[in-house]
Amino acid sequence: EVQLVQSGAEVKKPGESLKIACEGSGYNFSTDWIGWVRQMPGKGLELMGAIYPGDSDTTYSPSFQGQVSISADKSISTAYLQWSSLRASDTAIYYCARQNGYVADSFDIWGQGTMVTVSS
Amino acid sequence: DIQLTQSPSSLSASVGDRVTITCRASQPITNFLSWFQQKPGNAPKLLIYAASYLQSGVPSRFSGSGSGTDFTLTIGSLQPEDFATYYCQQTNTPPRTFGQGTKVDFK
């Protein structure tokens, strides 16, 4: 079964750092882009950026450039989303999703989401 | 960035109704448009890709159409499990933006 499994919920204080993970299985993790999508409470979907695990080529949406860092370790089929200094406004659910060329580069497989709460 | 505007933002419907949601792009995106369904507490689910192609396993009551700037998602006969929020996304030009969503609830 093709799936993405994300790390568990996090509760952090403003200014703390955080790295969340997304592990793929059931397919060749190296050959499909992985995107990260933010959903703030009660709001819509926002694409933050994406990474090609095969060579770690990374793109960021302008709103998120410099705010987060996306990385991957293809040897363990895992992508990461990282913050160096969290803010209360980073409170959201974060999804990873596979971008599949066979379905016109759509996100066909999604992780279950990681809830990040930032509060003092 | 390409802006996607969905209409309506919300709608109320009954089981058996035919439901249509539109997505308008701020510039042409050929047919690089996907539709997703999201239920509360769940990740989004891909319904339609390349504007009109049904993702494997998705019921045939869902259909998509359009090209260029104007796109439509149609639910042929609304079922109880279809009450959800629907999003469009363009995959033509980075950043691959989403529409703001359309919530479909019970009339």
Q: What is the pLDDT of residue B10?
A: 97
Strand B102-106: give its sheet, edge to edge.
Answer: B10-13, B102-106, B85-90, B33-38, B45-49, B53-54
Mean pLDDT of chain A: 97
| Other C-beta atoms lying within 10 Å of the C-beta of residue A1 | 6
% residues pLDDT > 70 (chain A): 100
Phi, psi values for residue B83, rounded to 5°:
-70, 115
Q: Do B95 and A62 touch (CB under 8 A)?
A: yes
Judged by CB atoms closer than 8 Å, whether chains meet at A44 and B98 is answered as yes
Interval B11-31: pLDDT, tens: 999 999 999 999 999 999 999
Task: Please report the pLDDT score of residue B11 as a whole number.
Answer: 97
Chain B residue closest in CA terms to A42: B40
pLDDT of residue B99 exceeding 90, the answer is: yes
Chain centroid to CA A74: 15
Residue A90: its H or E element: none
Mean pLDDT of B65-81: 97
In this model, does residue B68 exceed pLDDT 90?
Answer: yes
Indicate if the pLDDT at residue A81 is higher than 90. Answer: yes
* Residues B88, A33: Cα–Cα separation, whole Å: 19
Is the pLDDT assigned to residue A35 strictly greater than 90? yes
CA A98 to chain centre: 10
pLDDT of B94 > 90? The answer is no
Residue B37 C-alpha, separation from nearest chain A C-alpha, in angstroms: 11
Q: What is the pLDDT of residue B19?
A: 97
Minimum-distance CB partner of A44 among B1, B94, B100: B100
Question: Coil, strand or helix: which one is A30?
Answer: helix
d(CA B84, CA B72): 17
| Among candidates A59, A112, A113 on the partner chain, residue whose Cβ is nearest the Cβ of B94 | A59
Mean pLDDT for the stretch of residues B61-74: 98
